[in-house]
Amino acid sequence: MNAASIAGWAVALAVLGAAILAAPAGGRPWARRAAALSVLYLIALLLAGILLPAPWLPWASAVASTAVLLTSQPFIALGVLSRADVGLRAPHPGSARAAVIATGLALGFNAFVMLLRGAVPAGVPPGLIGAVLLAAVLEELAFRGVLLALLDRALPPRWNVLGARIGWGGVALTAAFVALHGLREGMLVGIVPAALLYLWLRARTGSLLAPIVAHLAWNLSVVLVN
C-alpha cells in the first residue's frame, strides 16, 4: 500500500460519509448500507493484498468485489433490492445505439490519450488479462449494481444527462470509485472518464450489460495499448 492509495481510500470514505449527511432522513439508512459495504470492500482489498502471493495480487479487486456481492445477497433475497434495481435486467428499448456510440467514442479517445502520453510496451502475463477482465465484471456488479442502487435510494436521480437520470448518489459513487483506485495523476487520467462512462451507461440503459461490456473493453484496451 502506498500514500496515493491511502489518500484515495480516505477520500472515498469521506465522500460516502458526506452522502450520509446529505441524504434526507429517510435516505440515510440506504447511504449507511452503501458506506458499510464500501468499508467491507476496503477491508477485503487490504487483506487480499496482504495474504495473496505476488503473482495473484492483480486478483485483489475481484476478491474485494466478491466480498461485497456475497454480503449484499440478503438484500436481494429478502426483496430489499430487486434484480432490476441492481441492473440485472434487459437494457431499455432504444438505448443500445446511444450506448455503442458513447462507448466507442470514449474508448477511441482513451486510446489516443494513452498513445499521446507514450505507451510503454511490456509483456502481459495471461493471468493479468484474466484478472482485469474478471475484475471488470465483478466491479460493475458491486459498484454500478448494488452500491449505486443503495445510493440512488439515499439520493434519488434528479438530472437528465443526455437521456440518463443521474443524481448525487451516482456522483458520490463515481467519486468514491475513482478515489479507491488511488490518487495518482496517471491513474486518474484513465479512471475518471471510464467511471463517468460506466455511470452514464448504467443510467441510460437501466442495465448492467452496457457498463460491463464497456468496462471489459476499457480494461482490455489499456492492457493491449501498453
Domain ranges of the chain: 3-225
* Predicted pLDDT at 120: 64
Nearest partner of 69 among 125, 141, 140, 120, judged by Cα: 141
Beta bridge partners of 161: 164
* Predicted pLDDT at 112: 87
Beta bridge partners of 160: 165
Contact (CB, 8 A) for 181 and 147: no
* Predicted pLDDT at 119: 64
* Predicted pLDDT at 11: 95
* Predicted pLDDT at 114: 83
pTM of structure? 0.94
Distances (CA, A) of 55 to 4, 60, 127: 22, 11, 8
* Predicted pLDDT at 2: 79
At residue 91's C-alpha, the angle toward residues 79 and 136, to 5°, is 80
* Predicted pLDDT at 86: 97
The tens place of each residue's pLDDT in the chain, 226 residues long, gives: 678 888 999 999 999 999 999 999 999 999 999 999 999 999 999 999 999 998 888 899 999 999 999 999 999 999 999 999 999 999 999 999 999 999 999 999 988 888 887 766 666 676 778 888 999 999 999 999 999 999 999 999 999 999 999 999 999 999 999 999 888 877 778 899 999 999 999 999 999 999 999 999 999 888 777 6
